[in-house]
Structure 1
Amino acid sequence: MPQPPGSLAVAAAYFLIYVVWGSTYYFIGVCLHDFPPFVLGTVRFAVAGLALLAVCRLRGERLLRRGLIFKSAVCGIILLFVDQGVIMFAQRYVSSSLVAIMASSTALWIMLLDIPQWRRNFRSVSTVAGIVLGFLGVAMLYLEQLNMQRPGGSHYEYGVLLLIGGCISWACGTLYSKYHIRGNDDGGLSSSAWQMLGAGVVFALCAGLSGDFSSLQLSAVSAVSWLSLAYLIVFGSMMAYTAYIWLLRVRPATEVATHAYVNPVVAVVIGAGLGHEDVTLIQLAGLAVILISVMMVNRK
């Protein structure tokens, strides 16, 4: 029988998805100053995936398994390509702080879409009330963007709509990984590697079709952007994402989704401190409402 995971390993994994992931929103925004979105996704996930495959090879893992590659690639496209692509495009409309605040509703979508757990998830009044409250918080943020006057008539509320789609995609990918990529037979680190490579390939195809590769000027990329990209590859993808996939195997999906408690707080602090982003009272109120709702549905 497999040994249960150690408490230290679980704590370290939660630190990565709580704190490190919260910081990635800011560094994505930094990279987007110099990298087109599809190119950023290509380099980030292709490099991280290839590096993890090399590590798996050194560990003696069997990598070329059709079932493993197919399931992992599907999961990677849903989790990484759609969600991260949405985040990058949304940051053309809204700040990294607001992106992270909206992403905090992911835990609610996971609970709403986790059909096998409906009987358990919706048996208490507080859970249902928490979900309703959370979506009211999302509505607050959307209405704020809808009513704000922006130069040039920009429709910044589109960023919120994009983020809602990204949250749903991340929830679907999380549940797919939870129920269809499980156990030692489906790979551990190698599954994460193939997920990243799957996303990287789709990002590359989109970059080629959209002309993002031809618009990239490597000589104009600043040192800060290169360092931010390295941070996203090593800490955001290779370490934090792998920790997330591992936690989905050893802990309940709704518990792992509680990274939504901390990610937006970290992102708001970093965005306001390093990026000098404006955080409105409505955004802070929306964050409070969403986090209270997530705590209501996960109060145990």
Structure 2
Amino acid sequence: MDLTTKQKAYFALSVTSIVWGTSWVASRFAVQSAPALQVSATRQLIAGVLFAGFFLLKGEKLPNPKQMLWLAGMSILLFVFANGLATVGVKFISSGLAALIAALYPLSVVVIEKIFFKNRKIGWVTFLGIVLGITGIAIVFYDNAFHHQGPNYWIGILVSVIAMLSWSVGTIIISRKQINLNPYYAIGWEMIFASLFLFAGAAVTGNLVSFSTFPAQTWYAIGYLVMMGSLIAVVAFLYTMKHLEASVAALYAYVNPIVAIVIGSFLIKEPLTKEIIIGSCITLIGVYLVNQSLRKQKSA
């Protein structure tokens, strides 16, 4: 029996949700025995070349100088600070907590637009969502603080928050200004630019080592992140967005942290307590309320 288009779209949504959730755990695997910035740079370079190369082979022209400048700037926000620092973060904190912090970006978008652009109405539902999101993170953070190992826990929290804020700013800029370029072709170039910046950052900070020192688990994790996280999941998400309502396609954002928490607890023995479960649920409810209120504002 052949699957219908809608069934395929729901399957694609499941793939996106699971793969992007497990990507947090894969990143934590990758950075345990290798410099985080170099791991992120390597992932972005391979995925970027594959993305951009695919479209070049299909006949896309090289971006013009103005587009290249734009792509380089966006790469800093979306892939150097957002992805690069998020990869640094999972070296010091659990993949589940990192995924939860990343899931807060809709909340930070609302706050940033309200403070700097004065064009975002914060109703009681939005406000309640923000409060719940922060409260849930505080519960998970408080519980994790009693289980973490090593003195760099606070660094992991800080860089993860910066990564989330950087993604929020990049999202706002993209929503306000577009360039005449296929978005997935653009992603490829942004990844390539980001890899160059990240390699430079790794070299400057003394975190650039010979690739021959990377253990097998790091290469396996990078391979998974490239093929599944950066390629297959993106294609699946594109298919989902094309064939399902945006509100349904966005469900992946609520599943990702749950997948990261559960898989992380099984594979790398990250703590999974009732406080973490409760805090995660509160956070995701908060994010859901904010997203719902924003959609109602747009449709009004």
* TM-score bin (small chain): 0.7 to 0.9
Change (3 A) 1:253 1:106: farther
Query: Cα 1:235–1:217, aligned 2, differ >3 Å: closer, same or farther?
Result: closer
Whether contact under 8 Å (1:110, 1:254) holds in the other structure is: no
Residues 74, 252 of structure 1: alpha-carbon distance in 2 compared, 3 angstrom cutoff: farther
Query: What residue number does 1:233 align with?
Result: 226
> 1:244–1:79: structure 2 CA closer, same or farther, 3 Å change rule?
farther
> Match for residue 192 of structure 1?
187
Could you tell me which runs of 5 or more consecutive residues in structure 2 were left unpaired when the two chains were aligned: none
Q: How does 1:195-274 map to 2 (within 5 A)?
A: 195-213=190-208, 215-216=209-210, 218-219=212-213, 221-222=215-216, 224-241=217-234, 259-274=252-267
Q: Which residue of 2 aligns with 1:22?
A: 21
Aligned to 1:3: none
What is aligned with 1:156? 153
Structure 2 residue matching 1:230: 3-state secondary structure: helix
Aligned position for 1:87: 86
- Is 1:49 aligned with 2:42? no
Deviation at 1:80, TM superposition (A): 1.3
Q: How many matched pairs?
A: 288
TM-score in terms of structure 1 length:
0.82
Instruction: Check 1:132–1:211 CA distance in 2 against 1; reply closer, same or farther (3 A cut).
Output: same
d(CA) in 2 for partners of 1:58 and 1:86?
Answer: 32
1:170 to 167, 171, 175: 167
Q: Identity rate of aligned residues, in percent?
A: 25
Q: Distance in 1 between matches of 2:235 and 2:68?
A: 16
**One of 291, 295, 299 as aligned partner of 2:288:** 295
Change in CA separation of 1:142 and 1:220 when aligned onto 2, cut-off 3 Å: closer
Q: Secondary structure at the match of 1:63?
A: coil
Unpaired runs of at least 5, structure 1: 1-5
Aligned ranges for residues 30-179 of structure 1 at < 5 Å?
A: 30-115=29-114, 121-122=121-122, 124-145=123-144, 148=146, 154=151, 156-179=153-176
TM-score (norm 2): 0.82
1:22 to partner: Cα distance: 0.9
Residue 277 of structure 1 aligns to a residue whose secondary structure is coil
Alpha-carbon distance in structure 1 between the residues aligned to 2:213 and 2:157: 33
Post-superposition shift, 1:72? 2.0
